[in-house]
Chains A and B, each alone.
Chain A
Amino acid sequence: MTPEPLPEHPDFLWRTPEPRSSYDVVIVGAGGHGLATAYYLAKNHGITDVAVLERGWLAGGNMARNTTIIRSNYLWDESAAIYEHALKLWEGLPEELDYDFLFSQRGVLNLAHTLQDVREGVRRVNANRLNGVDAEWLEPDEVAEVCPILNVSPRTRYPVLGGTFQPRAGIAKHDHVAWALARRADELGVDLIQGCEVTGFLKDGDRVVGVETSRGRILAGRVGLAAAGHSSVLARLAGFRLPVQSHPLQALVSELHEPVHPTVVMSNHVHVYVSQAHKGELVMGAGVDAYNGYGQRGSFHVIEQQMAAAVELFPVFARAHVLRTWGGIVDVTPDASPIVGSTPVENLYVNCGWGTGGFKATPAAGWTFAHTIATGEPHPLNAPFALDRFTTGALIDEHGAAAVAH
């Protein structure tokens, strides 16, 4: 018997250039945010002398580890504006990038299990509508219509008392999103450089003029940090502090199943969120570990609680097997909102603090960060997310308000 021939190697989607000695702009971190920033720098601002430096492999950080939920049902005006901008960009991106990354607007349900959850949910639906974000309040029987496998019986420990629903929300295939952005950025002239760790910053007084890397010095007119969980480590090397704390966040998948779960369900109160990937895995997440960590793994009891919640909400999952668990390092700010803008170091800009929810923001984070780097000024959408809000007190407090409990 002759073995099946192996398939042809695919064409590579981007070049693998050697780093040059200088660029107009250096972006640190080739996650979704770094790649989107490079793409929009080239596309919206005509700045193509750009390198994206990645210490590991392209999109191997949180971009490869997240549960891919995309929604814009945030409470506060500033957040609704930036996440809704992202959602509108998502709606056009597959065509614009000519890449089918399986963006699926199957809707997101946020369940309410207590009277306070109900009030928070109704308030958020009203706030969303005022901001032009699609949102509905559903009673338990309507919740069951959207997701028939959900247990809405009143005889559970934390019965489903209703839920908010955003029909335009959904999921996308994260790896493909990264590859699509990388291919376009590369075509526009951006150098994507993997295996290149930034280990220090070159400064002229208070101004950054380049970076030290594991592959030598690279001069840069401007530097943008898009390093997610490692932003505070980099800030420290550059000589300033960020109000972020890095925490492990875990996710897990089951083996493949027939399509049973038609939407995305999130519950803060019992704390689990579940969707079914296109291939058929049940994809589940829960909360961060309370402690700081960089170990890309989390505590077992978090998984235990999340599974208990999942089985109570979805009795049909009782026989599903966990196939794989993993962790990522997320950067959490005191008001659970991101930081996008300038830093105390001139020409050094930061995009961080997206915590557990930055995947959905990927296009808008890139759009606004590219604007800030290109012009030296904030875009109206990221102006409220400046670092100085911790000094002025103009916080955007999404803790618990953002339809997620962490």
Chain B
Amino acid sequence: MLLITCPWCGPRDETEYHYGGQAHVPYPENPAELSDAQWAEYVFYRDNPKGPLAERWVHSTGCRRWFNVLRDTVTYEVLASYRLDEPRPGGNR
């Protein structure tokens, strides 16, 4: 079981949270101008790296706030957790 630190409540068991997939996926700036292929990218395509992944979690049975976690998808080590208005630790997204 993962031990995830909510930025507001502190470290809690994975079972208190729900997973929200890849973080830092911005809504298209000019939606009306997107091609079908670009819409497909936005709606269906997400990174799936072997290694660090920035992802969203919600503390559903706690404060119910969303935040981001940087987690290694091979070791499952939680490398960082941070608020939505903070940049991905270590740069690049």
Contacts and interface: CB of A to CB of B under 8 A. Distances in A.
Contact of B75 (A241, A243, A245, A295): A295
Nearest to A301: B15
Q: Interface majority SS on A: helix, strand, loop or mixed?
A: loop
Contacts of B75: 295
B32 interface: no
A392 interface: yes
A177 B50 CA distance: 29
A260 interface: no
B19 interface: yes
B2 A241 contact: no
A299 interface: yes
Contacts of A392: 36
Contacts, number: 59
A351 B14 CA distance: 33
B44 A293 contact: no
A294 B50 contact: yes
A293 B74 CA distance: 6
Contacts of A242: 45, 48
A123 to B, nearest CB: 26
Given A291-B55, A293-B76, A299-B14, A232 B48 contact: yes
Contact of A233 (B1, B18, B39, B50): B50
A244 B50 CA distance: 13
Given A292-B55, A295-B75, A390 B15 contact: no
A300 B76 CA distance: 14
Contact of A243 (B1, B13, B18, B44): B44
A128 interface: no
Contacts of B18: 290
A167 interface: no
A293 B1 contact: no
Contact of A391 (B2, B40, B71, B76): B40
Interface residues of A, number: 23
B19 A290 contact: yes
A62 interface: no
Interface in B16-34: 18-19, 21
B53 A243 contact: no
A94 interface: no
Contacts of B50: 230, 233, 294
Nearest to B20: A290
Interface string B43-67: 1111010100101000000000000
A245 B14 CA distance: 19
Contact of A241 (B1, B45, B74): B45
Interface string A242-254: 1111100000000
A292 B71 CA distance: 10
A159 interface: no
A245 B36 contact: no
A299 B1 contact: yes
A334 interface: yes
B9 interface: no
Contacts of B19: 290-291
Interface string A380-398: 0000000000111100000
A334 B44 contact: yes
B73 A299 contact: no
A90 B78 CA distance: 43
A390 B44 CA distance: 7
B41 to A, nearest CB: 8
21 contacts: A233-B48, A241-B41, A241-B45, A242-B45, A243-B40, A243-B46, A246-B73, A291-B55, A292-B73, A293-B76, A294-B50, A294-B73, A294-B74, A295-B74, A299-B1, A300-B1, A301-B1, A301-B13, A301-B15, A390-B44, A392-B36
Interface of A: 230, 232-233, 241-246, 290-295, 299-301, 334, 390-393
